[in-house]
Amino acid sequence: MDVAPLVVSPRKKEQINSEPVFKFNTSLPLRVMLMCWGPYVLMCIYACFENVKLVSPKLRMVLPVVAKTNPFFNALLYSFGNEFYRGGVWNFLTGQKSVEPDVKKSK
């Protein structure tokens, strides 16, 4: 059970009330999700009203696979979007230290 402290130092209060330092473009993951799941959803809606046997079996097999690759693309987007994480991946793959990113606080 966590108990909140009765007295919070001014420095800690600044950290709590400050804006987040990292900004992430949320429209890009949404676009990727629509790109991955969109064709599959359209096929499912089409199957509700028409005979799906008219569509190629290969296409019917590929659409769910493409839809389920969405988590992989999300991981890639996060790794390339976050400067600190990108540096860690670069260090892991090449063994070279990357330059520390210069994060500017926006006001």
Between CA 7 and CA 10 the distance in angstroms is 9
Between CA 107 and CA 102 the distance in angstroms is 16
Average pLDDT, the chain: 79
pLDDT tens per residue across span 72-99: 988 888 877 777 777 777 788 787 776 6
Question: What's the average model confidence in pLDDT over 1-28?
Answer: 63
Check residue 98 and give its pLDDT: 66
- The pLDDT > 90 percentage for the chain reads 32
pTM of the predicted model as reported, rounded to 2 decimal places: 0.58
CB-based contact 90:98 (threshold 8 Å): yes
